[in-house]
Chain A
Amino acid sequence: MKGFELIKAGIYTTIQDKGRFSFMHLGVTNSGFMDEYAANACNKLLDNSLDTNLLEILFPSLQIKVTQSSTIAITGAKCEFFINGEQKNIWETHFVRVGDEIKVSRILEGQRVYLGVKGGFQIEKEFGSYATSQKEGFGGLNGQKLVNNDILPYEENSTFIKRRWKEKYIPQYKKELTLRVILSYQCDTFEQDQIDKFFNSEYTITPDFNSMACKLDGEAIECTISNLISEAIAFGSIQIPKDGKPIILLKERQTIGGYPKIGSVLSLDCFKLAQMKPGNKIRFEKIEVNEAREKVLKFIEAFS
């Protein structure tokens, strides 16, 4: 088996794809790329289909020995990226040969780095997906984050096409972000002044932020109902727990829950949120469901 040999796996590197669907009725979460914009871009650069698996790298220090020639690309968070000690650009393709050494050493801006190889890694899908879900022990290699000495095989590929993502489409990851919210679910049970407060306040991302959820700190929002009959939770849902501090539920969220929800963050903005860090600032603005749909369709079209 030839491909990548992980000399150092990094602190939290997982294999992801678009996610695992149609098992949520059994309590199995979706998982999948946290930032679909950067992940799609990585696959586009490599001419891969958009559900090809990639490495999602959080906190790098990744060191890889190449044992099979192919083309790679890195997108997402701005990071220090080297091939054989020479610094290289991200958001473009690079040819790697047997014996080369790839290093991703430090994240400078953003939070999640995507590293892909042409054709993807040849590992087994589990229940329809490559996505690693640690909670269930599904996907990736052994359902866990990658560890030192893991081998990630892929097919040899000797044709190289240099591609670069257009500069104007490379996102800048800032420390403040406005998330568009579709008022939904239990929004009717929130008093208007509480909804106004929600849209007029600035929130801070707490360290309680992972692929399951992002907990915010700031103005507490009151809800007229204290608990709710448990119901399924859509990607991006904003639940208001007893302390009134919003929690945005993300890819690895639990499938059902009993806290009232004021609405849901537009998926495209959840992808931007994936590049934020604890301490960064969040504001919310309203978007109607049909306008939101148009935005998502444009996003899909841009990558088709």
Chain B
Amino acid sequence: MEIKVASVDSVIIYFDNNISKEISNKVKASYAYLKSLNNEAFIDIIPSYSSILITYELLKYDFESIKKYLEEELKNVKVDDDTNSKLVEIDVYYGEEVGFDLQRVASINKLTIEEVINLHSSKVYDVYTIGFLPGFAYLGVLDEKIATKRLETPRKKIPKGSVSIADTQTAVYPKDSPGGWNIIGKTTFEFFDKNLEALSQIDINTKIKFNQISKEEFLKQGGII
């Protein structure tokens, strides 16, 4: 672990320099612990794949003192496996009308569309981090057999709810947005909802499983083709 200056009033804690489930669990446990301190001098705590950034009150700490404080506190973090996480199941319509890249992803990986869908919907994914857009959760890791590079030229508009993959990650676009991920399906599940007190049903401790549904079911749920 290394704590470095990020800006005049923020530090970044690096747990390692690679992406793995083990590091991610360390980040999650540390994030939960830091939140539980209820330290009023913490303005924002932002976890990512292998790091956590903390913005803090300058009146309370300088870089040396917060570094020391964090080093001491983080010794208390116990990393356990995923026992505390909740599973959220998300219905997806994997149809070519909404999964613009489904056929291409299948061809590139020498699979049938049905195999792509099965591989995508049979795994339980961890949330590695949330960012880029409000509610954009980076989920991993995909079965290597369907890992697909992102598009050379990003699309100007990807519809809200589009289920996508890029390299070994998968995600759902929480709103209409430009983007370069491969689109393989669509969901009506809201990843970001202003009407919720917590803003989202998803956080970094959530686990996600995608369920294949029919076009009829998707339309019944209010899905838009």
Contact = CB atoms under 8 A, between A and B. Distances in A.
Interface of A: 21-28, 30, 126-127, 135-138, 182, 184-185, 229-237, 254-257, 264, 266-267, 289-290, 292-293, 296-297, 300
A293 B62 contact: yes
B4 A22 contact: no
With a 10 A CB-CB cut-off, give which of B19, B51, B53, B135 has the most chain A CB atoms.
B53
B154 interface: no
Contacts of B5: 182, 184-185, 289
Given A236-B7, A237-B7, A26 B49 contact: no
Contacts of A138: 194
Nearest to A184: B5
A11 B194 CA distance: 27
B58 interface: yes
A232 B53 contact: yes
Interface residues of B, number: 43
Contacts of A21: 43-44, 55
Interface string B120-139: 00000000011111111010
Task: Please provide the 3 A-B residue pairs with the shortest distance between their CB atoms, ordered closest to farther.
Answer: A256-B131, A232-B53, A232-B46
B194 A229 contact: no
Contacts of B194: 126, 137-138
Nearest to A22: B44
A28 B53 contact: no
Contacts of A184: 4-7
B44 A24 contact: yes
A26 B129 contact: no
B178 to A, nearest CB: 12
B48 interface: yes
A231 B12 contact: yes
Contacts of A182: 5, 7-8
B134 A290 contact: no
A150 to B, nearest CB: 20
Contacts of A300: 58-59
A208 to B, nearest CB: 15
Nearest to A23: B199
Q: Which one of B8, B43, B131 has the greatest number of beta carbons of chain A within 10 Å?
A: B8
Which residue among A27, A138, A230, A266 has the maximum number of chain B CB atoms within 10 Å of its CB? A27
Contacts of A28: 134, 199
B18 interface: yes
B100 interface: no
B135 A289 contact: no
Contacts of B189: none
B23 to A, nearest CB: 9
A293 B46 contact: no
A230 B55 CA distance: 17
Interface in B171-225: 192, 194, 199-200, 203-204
Given A24-B46, A234-B9, 19 more contacts: A22-B44, A24-B45, A27-B133, A127-B199, A229-B49, A231-B51, A232-B48, A234-B7, A234-B10, A234-B53, A235-B10, A237-B6, A237-B7, A254-B131, A256-B48, A257-B131, A267-B7, A297-B58, A300-B59
A236 B8 CA distance: 9
5 contacts: A27-B135, A231-B48, A232-B53, A257-B131, A289-B63
A267 B9 contact: yes
B169 to A, nearest CB: 10
A285 to B, nearest CB: 15
Given A27-B136, A184-B4, A229 B10 contact: no
Contacts of A255: 46, 131-132
B39 interface: no
B203 A26 contact: yes
Given A232-B48, A297-B58, A297-B59, A25 B8 contact: no
